[in-house]
């Protein structure tokens, strides 16, 4: 199968859509997550996702014939289960912007893994931009002010597993998007279903629609994420992902009354500047010569 060349602008557009949808899904988890076990939330997300993609799975069932790289698919699903469950646990216990900011150690790990495992070339400018953005994250988070509790260790577990899952996804670039989405969603449901059943908490009627919406937002975000990874380079997408810090800061302020500090604002400026510099560089490289 001949794959098209990487297109960072197209990949970046899909990445922005993925970030927006994920933030809304996580907002619901943060608002309601303390009342439900993480496995139950992940299971509900997976079941709704399977319902949404079922018509496409049936119509495109032939793409599943002779699917290869099953071990990598299984690794990706396992890492994704750890990532999502740990993330749902942590987001309910940490400020929204702090959760997102700490997650930005993940793109740096992903860039390193992409260079080592996938042999992708990551230019000096992107390394510098990633470094600037990481400094911005440290300033914004103010590590000395982080709250105690179990949220942080579990979040670090999610960061490590999530970085490895992205690399596994990029190793499966030739796999059809429908196959990736189906394996991911079905795997989440099969593994978390029994765990959720053992710790199931009855859902009040007023929480049913918001909880089911998690699956809708997250499944659409997963589709956007896969298209972003298909089109974009790891280095470009990693730095562009820092823009999510700004989005989450706005949601934290307007939805959860989390007032950003001056340090957070300074760090956010560095993050945005790094992300925009990479986006501008990609556009300039694509511009036709005069």
The burial class, CB within 10 Å (0-12 / 13-18 / 19+), for 254 is exposed
Helices and strands (DSSP H and E) totals, the chain: 12, 0
Q: Coil, helix or strand for 170?
A: helix
Structure tokens at 281: 């560089």
pLDDT at 290: 42
Helices 8-32 and 205-231 pack at an angle, to 10 degrees, of: 160
Asked if 109 and 159 count as a contact pair (C-beta separation under 8 A), the reply is yes
In order along the chain (290 residues), what is the average pLDDT of each group of 10 residues?
81 92 92 91 94 93 87 92 93 84 72 73 79 83 69 86 85 85 92 94 94 92 87 80 80 87 84 70 53
Alpha-carbon gap, residue 80 to 229, rounded angstroms: 15
Structure tokens at 271: 């993050």
Per-residue pLDDT of 176-200, as tens digits, reads 888 988 999 999 999 999 999 999 9
pLDDT at 285: 56
Per-residue pLDDT of 234-259, as tens digits, reads 778 877 877 887 888 888 889 888 88
pLDDT at 43: 96
pLDDT at 201: 95
Helices 70-91 and 38-59 pack at an angle, to 10 degrees, of: 140
**Cα distance from N-terminal residue to C-terminal residue, the chain:** 34
pLDDT at 289: 45
pLDDT at 137: 79
């Amino acid at each position: 199968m001949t794959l098209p060349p990487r297109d960072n602008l197209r990949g970046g557009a899909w990445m922005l859509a993925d970030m927006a949808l994920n933030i809304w899904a996580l907002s619901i988890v943060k608002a309601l997550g303390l009342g439900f076990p993480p496995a139950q939330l992940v299971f509900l997300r997976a079941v709704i996702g399977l319902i949404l993609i079922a018509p496409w799975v049936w119509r495109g069932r032939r793409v599943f014939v002779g699917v290869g790289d099953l071990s990598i698919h299984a690794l990706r699903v396992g890492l994704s289960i750890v990532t999502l469950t740990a993330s749902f646990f942590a987001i309910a216990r940490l400020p929204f912007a702090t959760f997102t900011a700490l997650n930005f150690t993940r793109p740096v790990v992903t860039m390193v893994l992409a260079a080592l495992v996938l042999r992708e070339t990551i230019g000096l400018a992107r390394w510098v931009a990633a470094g600037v953005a990481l400094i911005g994250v440290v300033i914004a988070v103010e590590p000395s002010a982080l709250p105690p509790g179990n949220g942080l260790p579990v979040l670090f577990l999610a960061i490590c597993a999530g970085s490895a899952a992205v690399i596994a996804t990029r190793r499966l670039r030739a796999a059809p998007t429908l196959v990736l989405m189906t394996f991911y969603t079905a795997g989440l449901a099969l593994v978390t279903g029994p765990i959720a059943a053992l710790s199931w908490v009855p859902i009040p009627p007023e929480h049913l629609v918001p909880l089911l919406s998690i699956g809708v937002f997250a499944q659409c975000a997963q589709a956007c994420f896969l298209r972003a990874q298909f089109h974009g380079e790891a280095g470009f997408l990693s730095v562009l992902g820092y823009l999510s810090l700004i989005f989450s800061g706005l949601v934290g302020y307007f939805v959860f009354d989390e007032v950003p500090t001056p340090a957070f604002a300074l760090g956010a400026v560095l993050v945005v500047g790094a992300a925009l510099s990479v986006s501008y560089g990609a556009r300039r490289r694509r511009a036709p010569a005069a």
